[in-house]
């Protein structure tokens, strides 16, 4: 029999984490229990003291959640995973677990809007300040690392402009200056990109996106080594409790099983759509890693297996024109979520990045004419036809 390490990615995504109970169930069970029964007071004491492994209380130990954690950890190539109630709470407990007052975060300026607000408005109240640099500018990262910088944070590709950075180069830089590198791997997922293998210390996810894949549940995760994730970050989860529900964990477990197939299919549709958009009148620019015009296109095929499923494009005529294109669709869903079999589209300047100041939005490069499409798995001709109606009016 082959060892666990020799199994393929999708085999691991389907088979890891399910420890069959004496009932012999084939599908993963959902453990809807808040606590667990001990066989004796001695056993309870040993579990609470950490001398014996086993379930205690579902804020921090639940077999369905653990199954999801084991599966995602293997897929990301990490030792340990902690599942959370949302992607944002994954970032929150990561920062609470690893940083203290006086520490600084150095972040890409092209990150999800709520992450910027978490850093600027909330973490700053506790003495953790954040500085920002352009994602792809390695010199800027190097210059901005100061004596108190502890953590480098980025998304690659970024939301919504799909900019990319060389993860390996940034990991080397981070380590040479005593910092940790954290990658939000939401857009690629481990099916397309494995940041830990490239030197990143931690990967985080909004499981809400492609890990689910059908827009049903909100959840998050952090993956990394036993010390950082299994002890420091898990400690915050155990104490503060932004835990993933067992039902959501079960949905994500099912999502992981088809992740690779879906990511490749999303990528195929997105590649065709990006090429098509480039030819449309009224479209000024298309942002998609799979296009040879993308500034970091060289990273596709190596760091990142395909261009991924997200395409952003700018139309002539600013907000009014962008809203007209969005409002002319009949099939696509106007919603800010992404990573769904259904194609979704949104106007980042007034939705995902709407709570940023004008200055923050400008420095993140998010203009009023920008539209983000998370390309779903519908027939590509239908997606194009739905967009063509609005584009024809520009």
Ligand X SMILES: Cc1ncc(COP(=O)(O)O)c(C=O)c1O
User: According to CB under 6 A, which one of 76, 184, 201, 212 is a site residue for ligand X?
Assistant: 184
Q: Mask of contacts with ligand X, 98-137, x by CB under 6 A?
A: --------------x-------------------------
Closest CB to ligand X among residues 219, 390? 219
In terms of Cβ atoms closer than 10 Å to its own Cβ (0-12, 13-18, 19+), residue 302 is: exposed
Distances, alpha carbon 203 to alpha carbons 184, 191, 226, in Å: 6, 13, 13
Residue pair 181/199 in contact by the 8 Å Cβ criterion? yes
And the tokens for 107? 């972040």
Residue nearest to ligand X as judged by C-beta position: 87
Give 77-134 as a DSSP string: T-SEEEEESSHHHHHHHHHHHH--TT-EEEEESSS-HHHHHIIIIIGGGGT-EEEEE-
When asked if residue 220 is in the footprint of ligand X (CB under 6 A), the reply is: yes
Residue 274 DSSP one-character state: H
Query: What number of residues does the chain have?
Result: 394
Q: Which residues inside 140-179 make contact with ligand X, applying CB under 6 A? A: 155, 159
Alpha-carbon torsion (18, 238, 96, 218), positive or negative: positive
Residue 341 DSSP one-character state: S
- Stretch of residues binding ligand X (CB under 6 A), selected from 39-47, 80-88, 227-235, 291-299: 80-88
User: According to CB under 6 A, which one of 94, 164, 192, 218 is a site residue for ligand X?
Assistant: 218
User: According to CB under 6 A, which one of 16, 86, 304, 329 is a site residue for ligand X?
Assistant: 86
- Stretch of residues binding ligand X (CB under 6 A), selected from 70-78, 86-94, 232-240, 379-387: 86-94
And the tokens for 146? 């100061």
Minimal distance, residue 259 CB to ligand X, in Å? 16
Question: For ligand X, how many residues bind (rule: CB under 6 A)?
Answer: 12
When asked if residue 88 is in the footprint of ligand X (CB under 6 A), the reply is: yes
Strand partners, 222: 82, 204
And the tokens for 75? 């897929």
SS3 call for 365: coil
SS3 call for 49: helix
Minimal distance, residue 221 CB to ligand X, in Å? 10
Minimal distance, residue 219 CB to ligand X, in Å? 7
Closest CB to ligand X among residues 206, 296? 206
The Cα 342–Cα 304 span in angstroms is: 23
User: According to CB under 6 A, which one of 17, 63, 78, 87 is a site residue for ligand X?
Assistant: 87
Closest CB to ligand X among residues 55, 337? 337
Closest CB to ligand X among residues 18, 205? 205
Query: Cα-flanking dihedrals φ and ψ of residue 109, to 5°?
Result: -80, -10
Query: Cα-flanking dihedrals φ and ψ of residue 115, to 5°?
Result: -65, -40
When asked if residue 185 is in the footprint of ligand X (CB under 6 A), the reply is: no
Minimal distance, residue 310 CB to ligand X, in Å? 9
Closest by CA to 256, choosing from 69, 7, 26, is 69
When asked if residue 243 is in the footprint of ligand X (CB under 6 A), the reply is: no
Closest CB to ligand X among residues 177, 254? 254
Q: Mask of contacts with ligand X, 267-306, x by CB under 6 A?
A: ----------------------------------------
Residue pair 247/30 in contact by the 8 Å Cβ criterion? yes
- Stretch of residues binding ligand X (CB under 6 A), selected from 24-32, 84-92, 236-244, 257-265: 84-92
Q: Which residues inside 31-60 make contact with ligand X, applying CB under 6 A? A: none
Q: Which residues bind ligand X (CB under 6 A)?
A: 86-88, 112, 155, 159, 184, 186, 206, 208, 218, 220
């Amino acid at each position: 029999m082959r060892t666990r390490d020799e199994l393929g990615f999708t085999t691991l995504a389907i088979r890891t984490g399910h420890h069959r109970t004496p009932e012999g169930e084939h599908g993963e069970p959902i453990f809807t229990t808040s606590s667990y029964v001990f066989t004796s007071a001695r056993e309870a004491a040993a579990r609470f003291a950490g001398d014996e492994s086993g379930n205690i209380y579902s804020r921090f130990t639940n077999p369905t959640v653990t199954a999801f954690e084991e599966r995602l950890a293997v897929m990301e190539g990490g030792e340990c995973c902690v599942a959370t109630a949302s992607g944002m709470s994954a970032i929150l407990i990561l920062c609470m677990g690893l940083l203290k007052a006086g520490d600084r975060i150095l972040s890409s300026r092209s990150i999800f809007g709520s992450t910027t607000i978490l850093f600027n408005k909330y973490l700053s109240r506790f003495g953790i300040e954040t500085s920002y640099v352009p994602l792809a500018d390695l010199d800027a990262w190097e210059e901005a690392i100061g004596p108190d910088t502890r953590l480098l944070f980025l998304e690659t590709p970024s939301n919504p402009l799909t900019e990319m950075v060389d993860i390996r180069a940034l990991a080397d830089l981070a380590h040479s200056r005593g910092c940790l590198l954290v990658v939000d791997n939401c857009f690629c997922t481990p099916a397309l990109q494995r940041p830990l293998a490239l030197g990143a210390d931690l990967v985080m996810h909004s499981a809400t996106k492609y890990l689910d894949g059908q827009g049903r549940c909100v959840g998050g995760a952090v993956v990394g080594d036993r010390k950082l994730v299994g002890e420091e970050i898990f400690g915050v989860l155990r104490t503060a409790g932004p835990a993933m529900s067992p039902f959501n964990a079960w949905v994500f477990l099912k999502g992981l099983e088809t992740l690779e197939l879906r990511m490749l299919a999303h990528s195929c549709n997105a590649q065709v759509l990006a090429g098509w958009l480039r030819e449309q009148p009224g479209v000024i620019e298309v942002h998609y890693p799979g296009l040879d015009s993308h500034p970091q296109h060289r990273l596709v095929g190596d760091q990142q297996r395909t261009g991924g499923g997200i395409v952003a494009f700018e139309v002539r005529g600013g907000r009014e024109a962008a809203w007209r294109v969005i409002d002319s669709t009949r099939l696509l869903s106007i919603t800010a979520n992404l990573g769904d079999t259904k194609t979704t589209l949104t106007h980042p300047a007034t939705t995902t990045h709407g709570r940023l100041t004008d200055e923050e939005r400008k420095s993140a490069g998010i203009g009023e004419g920008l539209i983000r499409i998370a390309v779903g798995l519908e027939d590509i001709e239908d997606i194009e036809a739905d967009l063509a109606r609005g584009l024809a009016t520009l």
